[in-house]
Amino acid sequence: MRMWLLVLFACLPVLGAGAQPPPVPPRQTVAFVDVHVLPMDRDRVLAGQTVLVEDGRIVAIGETLPLPPQTQVVDGDGAWLLPGLADMHNHLDGRQDMAVQLALGITTTLHMGEARNSFVGRTRAAVAAGEQAGPRSFVALAVDGSPRYGHLVVRDADDARATLRVAQANGYDALKLYNTLSPDAFEALMAEARAAGLPVVGHGVTEVGLQRQLEAGMALVAHLEEFFYAFFPPAPDDDPNAAPDPAQIEAAVALLRAHGTPVVADLVTYRAIAAQWGRPDVVAGFLHRPEARYLPPQFRVSWPAQGYAGREGSLDRRVAFLSGFVRALQAAGVPLLSGTDAQDIPGLVGGFALHDNLDALVEAGLTPYEALVTATRAPGEFVHRHRPDLALSGVVAPGARADLVLVRADPRDGLATLRQPLGVMADGRWYPAGDLAARLEDVARQYRAAADSALDLPPAAGGGDGPARWRSGQP
């Protein structure tokens, strides 16, 4: 019955009650006046500035600037302007997901596998053309050595060559490696990706290990916790949830520094898993949080069906270890990128989870500014390293991409101000607070309508938990 409901929710049209979201604003010449700028190139403030944007780029910053005719002026009245935020590991590809992320200040995402073809080909193009509101999205094609986790299977060099052709033909920005690749398939994929100029990101491959993966040029480790599975010694059989010895952190730090490899510091992901480990009541609680009104209806079925709540023991020691690990990486200058894994993991609602992750990084010992770097400058540098043809992002500077967030207070004094932006600029398109609120309400209204439609459906033919057929009302 659960599976039937999941399919039902996924197939229902998500319709609003006659209302439409605001249109996507055009690119205009915009001047933000009387704003305090956090440029994020280093920990500093440019007070009382005007920031001029033209054609999707920041063109000038200064205390006073001549403004071209027809400039749209946004009076900051002493508000704070900083780069748009980036979620560098999620699995969000719905139109509604795009709207929610934008409303929460997220202007760049990296989709880490299993995106719908329509998202890869059409939705991203629609956002870039100004036909749909949302963040700029980069997409990785996930590959594995078996169908166990549902990814594209690559078993040998011939498969690797074919995979790269498919990835390039369909506009993927990276390959994502998964757990069960064979060593031969791994080496073939790395060779083909290097030849094609396509970065490789991903999990720790069990039969290869992160040391060899980084030596071979993997560009990004997709989760902090991958070091549990593919670098640190495994936990003993009689204590499978044991954390590694903290003395082993030094070797992991040295490996990452030697290769300059960034890590997705997604503390929120493992914390969410640990919170629900053996706790079905926690999953039920996730669905009653305020942000759950923006959760696509099918996840209300799939979240309780996940296996974490049926596990035994506790992951608290591993959660604490990851906090110490991320502090050590930060102290050593290893590039850290924020990510969430939303929203397949119960408890991680798209958009909101990124703010939760920034809070988790601060709780682990980073300063608010250091946490902000993981969602601004560091992702921008990572993108620019692999796509130098694109404008720099993640900083407020002349020539940079005009992805910006306007907030009431200095986020270095408290990150909560980021959750309620006064406005967001994405690729030079300005969305004031009222526009963002309307988009959020439109998403919530659509999901309510979808749920109501499901409740109004007639019973499935035959009843019970067997295969269901739609009743068309026709003889």
Paired tokens of 28: 């205009």
pTM of this structure: 0.92
Burial of 34 (0-12, 13-18, 19+ CB in 10 A): middle
Helix (H, G, I), strand (E, B) or coil at 330: helix
CATH code assigned at 294: 3.20.20.140
From CA 368, how far away is CA 449, in angstroms rounded?
A: 39
From CA 139, how far away is CA 121, in angstroms rounded?
A: 10
Residue 458 inside a domain? The answer is no
138 neighbors 111 (Cβ within 8 angstroms): yes
From CA 144, how far away is CA 153, in angstroms rounded?
A: 5
Residue 106 inside a domain? The answer is yes
**What is the CB-side half-sphere exposure of residue 280 using CA atoms within 13 A?**
5
Tokens 């309508």: give the residue. 449
Residue 312 inside a domain? The answer is yes
Q: Say what the pLDDT of residue 468 is.
A: 36
Q: Say what the pLDDT of residue 460 is.
A: 61
Residue 33 inside a domain? The answer is no
Q: Say what the pLDDT of residue 453 is.
A: 75
Domain count for the chain: 1
Tens of pLDDT, residue by residue, the chain (475 residues):
333 333 334 444 444 445 677 899 999 999 999 999 999 999 999 999 999 999 999 999 999 999 999 999 999 999 999 999 999 999 999 999 999 999 999 999 999 999 999 999 999 999 999 999 999 999 999 999 999 998 999 999 999 999 999 999 999 999 999 999 999 999 999 999 999 999 999 999 999 999 999 999 999 999 999 999 999 999 999 999 999 999 999 999 999 999 999 999 999 999 999 999 999 999 999 999 999 999 999 999 999 998 898 999 999 999 999 999 999 999 999 999 999 999 989 999 999 999 999 999 999 999 999 999 999 999 999 999 999 999 999 999 999 999 999 999 999 999 999 999 999 999 999 999 999 999 999 999 999 988 777 777 677 655 444 433 333 333 2
Residue 358 inside a domain? The answer is yes
Q: Say what the pLDDT of residue 378 is.
A: 98
Q: Which residues of 74-109 are buried (b: 16+ CB within 10 A; e: fewer)?
A: bebeebbbbbbbbbbbbbbbbbbbbbbbbbbbbbbb
Question: Which residue range(s) make up the domain with 311?
Answer: 85-391
Paired tokens of 73: 């002026």
From CA 406, how far away is CA 310, in angstroms rounded?
A: 43
Query: E strands of 161-296, at which residues?
Result: 174-177, 200-202, 220-221, 263-264
Residue 225 inside a domain? The answer is yes
